[in-house]
Every structure is written in structure tokens, then in C-alpha cells.
A and B are shown apart, each in its own frame.
Chain A
């Protein structure tokens, strides 16, 4: 009956799907782990002068929040101690300790993924008071200057205030006396703070941010900009030029809220340099570290927790069922003839070491020479088991010769011949001989070609890296593979080859 099989397949698909959903939704796995993704490689290097005194350097570093993801963080601290601490909205790396006379290089590097596609549902910030060094009079000045825009929506208000940094005030222009007072204020406090006061006067929550421009660059200084809340989102204002950055702003914040990126409390920092590089990596790499440190059950039981050398085996092993599935399709739906059922899968696995071309070449060569020898041996009237042993020995002799030739001409692919499944090859020679004897050379060659074709297709599938990675990240896909296999087990339709075979009947009806 078809129903139980279909039910089983549905159940297997459901398990597979549920586990994947759980990983994606709760454990935040990437949906397409193998999909390429653009990321930034940030690295910071700083040079600290040696000396007997205490050293304490605090440098702002990026961290993961909605909109950006930081992974693969590496710290270089030499003989100093390193600590990470949270300070308000910032994450600060603290290097401290005592150096000898030798100088020390400290560093930080990370892979940063900007996720602008997510709308940031931040709750609106509260309007902060004026900076403490701004007097009542200066506050009133600011109020007067922006009063004419008070009725505009926040977004437009920002767009009117921004050009004021360049002295563009629109019409009607403000009072000449106020303007003069303002320019001396700008001079006294600097443009960023001046912009901050104007924005505060216009009731726009704003904060000073220091960071880097997201561009391939090496720089020794950070950038200052102002994030302004315009009711729905933060917009970034370049205070000196009075320009608003287009969304998504090409900025990487390091510290927010006015504290400087680099603070040298004790000691002397002789040089600091930030490098930003673009890179394209698998989405998977961003999640990898998270999983390695996660305590969630599925993360702890992830294949990534296996030692490296076993991981490599499993990357391939986990795709073997796909190979078997391919054989189901090619045999039961297409109707390819093959020697033995899983022989092509084993061949495909072996081709990974020899390469496809050499693998197929060696396969053809061994079977052909094996066939000739087998024909000749036939006259010796050897019994089955000793005869197969002779063929097996012959196959091993071929392998040895191939490996030695490979060594002479420097072809690793030929030396990898030893990984071909020799038992399978031995049986293939015997089967090839029997088929050729009984059903003719055509049938034998046809079956050999079918086996080679299935092995090639299987090889291409298990060599396909996105597939490897996806299955490795989501091993529960094996349940889905089993589901398809179950369904194929109940496929009672015609094979493609049968359509050809019985096509001739058509003319007679």
C-alpha cells in the first residue's frame, strides 16, 4: 500500500524541516550556509612604548547588535592583560599591565557583517539634557536659531539644521547678532558640539559617534559623526560639512555617546592603525564561532564539534546517501544499468582522491586489462574463489604499477590509485566478463558505461561544496533524503528506458 510509505516520508520530511526551522529561527543559523556574503575584515594595530610604568589603554571595538554581526574576533596583547568591558553603548577593549623596556604591539581583528536589510526596531531614545558645559544663554541662542523650523517633522528639521554648519540658514535669515554669537560659539566648542546643541534645541535626540568609514582603507584616525533620531531611525550627520549620509551609511561605529575611541590612561601609544578590507565568505563562517561556544543542545551536538580530521570524513560521508538517492533515481526512474547496486557510489568516493578524469581512466584501464586477462585465465579452468583471488592480485599489481608510474612522472592522482575500491573493481571485472560472455559485448559495454555515468554524476554531487556545507550544517537533511528514498521506493511508474523499450508497441495499436 502506498499510504504508510507516504506517511513515513511526510513524517521524515517534517522532522527534517522542524529541526532546520528550529536552527534557523532560534539558533539563528543562516538559511543558505554556503551562500556567499560580503563582509568587512577589520584589524587594528597599535604600538605601545615600553617602560617600567603601568600601561592602560582603552580602545573601542565593534560588537554584535541588530544591524551588524561581529565574528572571528582575535586579540593580540603580548605580555599585557586584555579585558573586554561594556561601557554604556560601547564595547571597550582594555589592555593593561607593565612592559619591560621592549615595546609592544597590540591588536584586534574581526570579521564584520553589516545587515542593513533589517529595519531596526529600536525604541525611541529619550531627549538628553544639554551638555553640562553649555550655559543657559547659549541654550537660548540655539533655541532662537532653530525656532522657525519647530513645526516641521523631525526628518525635515534635521535637513534644515544640517546645512547650518556651513552657514546656510535659509530664509528668513536669523538675527545678525545671533549669527555672530553663534560663530563664536562654534569656534569655542567646535563644530560637532555646536551641531549637537542645535539638534538638542530642535528637540532631536542626537549623539556623537566615533568610528571608521566603511571603505577599503588604512587609517590612523577615526571619524566623528552625529547620529540623529528622526522619529523612526537613526540618521548620520557629517557635522563639519553638514551632510547627511545616505542610508545605509558607510560607517562603522566604534564608540557612541562622545567617549573617544582611543584612551591612553597610562603609558604611551606611539602609533595606531586601522585596516578595513572587503571580503567574500560563506554565510556559514559568521555563525561558526557562535555555535562552537553555544550551550544549546543542537549546537553542542553539532558536527562542527568533531575533531578536524573526522569532520573531513563526515563532510563526505554525509553526502553518500545523496549518492545512493541518485542511484535510486538513475536506476528506477531512468533505468541505467550498473554493475552492482552501490558500486558507482564507491567509485565516486574514490574519484575524490584520483580526480574524475584519472579515476575514469584508471577504471576503464583496469576493467579492460582485467577483462583480457580474465578471458585468458578462463582457459586455465580455475575455480571461482581462487580465480577471483587471482583477479584481485592482478588489480593490486595494476595499482602498484600505476602508483610507481605516478611517482616517476610526478602525478599524485596516479599515486592515489590505492584508494580505489579494489574489491569492487575485482567483482566488476568478473561481472563484466560474465555479462560480455552471456549477453554480448554490447551489453557489457553498455553496463560499464552506465556504471561510469552514474559514478560521475554521483561524484559531481558529492564534490559540490555548497552541498557539503549545507548538509554538514544541517545533518537533519538526511531525514529528508530518506523521505525521498522512501517515496522512490513506492514509485511504480515507468522508467525512462521503458518508454523507449515499449515505444514500438505504439505503432501496432
Chain B
């Protein structure tokens, strides 16, 4: 039974955690480049240097003292996001949709007081959410107003698009839709929905919620498949360019689509999860091995890589 499942997974081309770590992350992601993606502020600056759009940054809090300047910054904006620069898996991110006086409204309707908010920021600074418990910085970023395309299948919060990029070639895509359960966050392990996106045309295919295959959004009841993701080609190009930007050969590229600004690079992940396989009902390994067999000239520029991917994944030869 175990052996059978094992050989079946291998045949189906499912990538396991061990192989991902040993054969892809350790082989293609040089340790020295990790800080570029582990620190969202560094990623943001790097992306700006490469003309890749990111959500506008309002304020950075480096030290406890910097909190004083926050009030002034916040007085000019309505909604914003607080996130730790080095947070992992969406931990420590707080969305604020509105605020008056000293009451901050979360998308769920829950209100935070000014002390609640500053306490959270102090937590971020002391490193509670950071990967190695290092002291951290808190970022105050623009609240994303998501493109209405996903409005029918989003309870609240911001859906994001994850594209796994291997050696600069987009391999697999997924839209992550927040649910009531996930508190407006797009993290699958918190209960967000993962919907597979076909690389060739950017339409959604299958969907999973807590590893269960679903067809409709549990909160809104709308169908999840065959939604055309806007700006798809543009996003494939952004994804492909992150390889040249970071030198990391195996990346998860997280993007959001803002109503006015279009696709924005949110963050990069040097250890992208494996759940994207479940969302797409496809194995990553087969695609990765397929890319390894591609002629070397296709890897020269982001454009050639995207062109190859579009062609290869339209008529899969594997």
C-alpha cells in the first residue's frame, strides 16, 4: 500500500519536501541570496531597481522610537497594512481597512486600539515573527484594492497569485483566495483556497480548500474554475525576471493585482510550499524535469523563458 502510493506519486511527478530541499532549494538557491527574499524591504528595494512594481511603502519602523512618526503618517491615509519585514508564511501581517481617532478596523470588522496596534508593532520589532528570531522592522504598506475579477470568490481580504519559477521559467501558478476562516489572509494553511492557474492562458482550473478538492467558494458560493486572471502574461514576465533579480533558481513569486496599479510583486519565497501541486492537481517534479531537458538557449532572457513556457505548457509533451 505504502510502496504503491509511493511509486504512484513518483510516476505522477509529485515533488516531495525532501527532494524539494535537497535537489532544488539547496542546488539552485545560493544561501547568500536568501536575505534578498527573507527581508521584504530588501526585496522591495531590489524590485524597484529592476522596475518591477511593488505596493507603495508608507513607512518603515526600525526602532521603538520610530513609532512616534507613525501617527503622522497614518493621519494622511485611510487603509494600510502592517507587516514584519522578515515574517514567514503571512504571520504578523495585520490589515487595517479604516481608522478613526484611535480605533483601527480590521477587515473582519474587529477593532484594534492604538495600544493594540503599537503592541503588535513592538512584537514585530522584537523579532517574534521573524524567521530566526532576529530583531525586525515593521513595514507600513498601502492596502491593496484587489482587481474585481476575484470579487465573487473572495470573502474579504486580498487574493494573491503565486507562480513557482524554476531557473527563470514559470512552472506552475495558483491563485490564493482568502476566506472567512483565513481572516482575509491568503495563506493556505490558515484556510485560504488555492486555485490552480494554467500557465498557458491564465485561466483557473481546479481548487482546494484544506487539501479537499472544491468547485465553489465556501463563503460566497461562486464557481472557482475558468476565471481569466488578468495581466497574466505580464505576471509571467515579472515572475521570470525575479530569477535575474535574485539569482535564485527555485522561487515562489507572490503577486497581487491592484485595481489601479495592476500586478504588484508582494514577496518572494525561496522555500515555496508544495500545496500548489494539490491546487493544480499536477505534480511539480515532472515539470521541473521537463524544463531541465529544454535547450539551453531558451534560458537566456526572461522573454525567451516565458515564450518557451507558454509554448511548452500549451502542448505538453510530457
Contacts and interface: CB of A to CB of B under 8 A. Distances in A.
Interface of A: 332, 335, 381, 383-385, 434, 438-439, 443, 489-496, 498-499, 501-506, 508-509
B91 A498 contact: no
Interface string B173-202: 000000000000000011000000000000
Contact of B190 (A384, A439, A489, A495): A439
Interface in B233-292: 274, 277-278, 281, 283
Given A499-B5, A504-B278, A384 B126 contact: yes
B63 interface: no
Contact of B18 (A381, A439, A495): A495
Contacts of A384: 123, 126-128
Contact of B277 (A385, A496, A505, A506): A505
Contact of A494 (B16, B127, B277): B16
B17 A381 contact: no
Interface stretch (B7-15, B66-74, B221-229): B7-15
B122 interface: yes
A498 B9 CA distance: 9
A509 B5 CA distance: 13
Given A503-B5, A504-B278, A505-B14, A492 B19 contact: yes
A508 B277 CA distance: 12
Nearest to B128: A384
Contacts, number: 79
B115 interface: yes
Nearest to A506: B8
Contacts of A495: 16-18
Given A498-B274, A505-B14, 11 more contacts: A332-B18, A384-B123, A385-B126, A493-B16, A494-B9, A495-B16, A498-B16, A499-B2, A502-B9, A504-B278, A506-B5
Contact of B6 (A335, A490, A499): A499
24 contacts: A332-B18, A335-B17, A381-B115, A383-B126, A438-B91, A491-B22, A492-B22, A493-B6, A494-B10, A494-B14, A494-B18, A495-B18, A496-B2, A499-B5, A501-B211, A502-B9, A502-B14, A502-B277, A504-B212, A504-B278, A505-B14, A505-B283, A506-B8, A509-B12
Pairs of residues from A and B, 6 with the lowest C-beta to C-beta distance, nearest first: A384-B126, A492-B19, A381-B119, A494-B16, A499-B5, A508-B281
Interface residues of B, number: 34
Nearest to A496: B2
Contacts of A438: 89, 91, 190
Nearest to B127: A384
Contacts of A489: 22
Interface in B117-133: 119, 122-123, 126-128
Nearest to B90: A438
Interface in B123-150: 123, 126-128
Contact of B122 (A381, A491, A501, A503): A381
Residue from A434, A495, A498, A506 whose CB has the most chain B CB atoms within 10 Å: A498
B204 interface: no
B76 interface: no
A293 B306 CA distance: 74
A15 B278 CA distance: 45
Contacts of A506: 5, 8, 12
Residue from A438, A439, A502 whose CB has the most chain B CB atoms within 10 Å: A502
B43 interface: no
Contacts of B2: 496, 499
B206 interface: yes
A492 B122 contact: no
B19 to A, nearest CB: 4
A385 B128 CA distance: 10
A78 B2 CA distance: 70
Given A439-B189, A490-B22, A505 B126 contact: no
Residue from B2, B18, B19, B281 whose CB has the most chain A CB atoms within 10 Å: B18
Contacts of B213: 504, 508
B17 A504 contact: no
A500 to B, nearest CB: 9
Nearest to B3: A499
Contacts of B5: 499, 503, 506
Contacts of A494: 6, 9-10, 14, 16, 18
Nearest to A507: B213
A434 B128 contact: yes
A260 B210 CA distance: 88
B137 to A, nearest CB: 15
Nearest to B21: A492
Contacts of A499: 2, 5-6, 9
Nearest to A502: B14
A467 B119 CA distance: 51
Contacts of A439: 189-190
Interface string B20-61: 001100000000000000000000000000000000000000
Residue from A335, A439, A503, A505 whose CB has the most chain B CB atoms within 10 Å: A505
A494 B11 CA distance: 12
A497 to B, nearest CB: 9
B18 A493 contact: yes
A188 B213 CA distance: 105
Contacts of B19: 492-493
A506 B14 CA distance: 11
Residue from A383, A490, A503 whose CB has the most chain B CB atoms within 10 Å: A383
A332 B19 CA distance: 10
Contacts of B89: 438
A504 B22 CA distance: 25
Given A384-B123, A505-B281, A492 B91 contact: no
A489 B23 CA distance: 11
